[in-house]
Amino acid sequence: MSETSLTIGALAKKTDTKVETIRYYERIDLLSAPGRTSGNYRIYGAEHLGRLSFIRRARDLGFSIEQVRELLSLADQRSRPCAGVDAIARQHLAEVERKIADLNAMRRELSTIIDKCGRNVIADCRIIEALSPMPGKLKRVPLSKKPEADPRPRRLRTGQRAGV
């Protein structure tokens, strides 16, 4: 088998991607269906290797499947201006920055809670107090606005126990 003729296992190894993930990308049309051998094995070429490497790198950077789909579509149109690519990347960067801000707020809140701990007994533990549903002495640091969860209780399926 030549360098540009890869089995699914070889492609998976070269791109550090699970075989099932490659099949998934084929099912959702991010990766084109490969040719088949006479024994009906998938056979991938250099184009698949390049495209899957692109997908992996984009996913490693946190782009969503839909964003990757858009980026691939734009990448296939080599003579177009790259403003669309830039817009997708800027939108993703804004989301990454929002998540970093949320994580920094969580870090501050956890540090505050930990610093208030007297390290005595659980009955006096400020960490437990802050996590309890009763109003505590610590002020809650709000994270960025997110849609609120549905306040209605979840219906349990037959045989399912509450809290599971």
What does the pLDDT look like over 69-78, one tens digit per residue? Answer: 999 999 999 9
> Residue 98, Cβ neighbours under 10 Å: how many?
14
Question: Band of the pLDDT at 120, cuts 50, 70, 90?
Answer: confident
Q: At what angle do helices 65-75 and 46-60 cross, to 10 degrees?
A: 130
Whole-angstrom Cα distance, residue 13 to residue 94?
A: 33
Beta bridge partners of 42: 36
Residue at 103 is within a domain? yes
Residue at 114 is within a domain? yes
The total number of structural domains that make up the chain: 2
Whole-angstrom Cα distance, residue 75 to residue 15?
A: 19
Residue at 17 is within a domain? yes
Residue at 1 is within a domain? no
Residue at 35 is within a domain? yes
Instruction: Residue 27: give the domain boundaries.
Output: 8-63
CATH number assigned to the domain comprising residue 46? 1.10.1660.10
Element (H, E) at 42: strand 42-43
The length of the chain, given as a count of residues: 164
Among 9, 134, 96, 86, residue whose Cα is nearest residue 104: 96
Residue at 29 is within a domain? yes
pLDDT of residue 124: 80
Residue at 48 is within a domain? yes
Q: Are residues 15 and 59 in the same domain?
A: yes
Residue at 104 is within a domain? yes
Helix (H, G, I), strand (E, B) or coil at 17: coil
- pLDDT tens digits, 140-154: 555 555 545 545 445
The residue type found at 61 is L
- pLDDT tens digits, 14-48: 999 999 999 999 999 999 999 998 899 999 999 99
> Residue 44, Cβ neighbours under 10 Å: how many?
24
Q: Are residues 59 and 103 in the same domain?
A: no
Phi, psi torsion values for 134, nearest 5 degrees: -80, 145
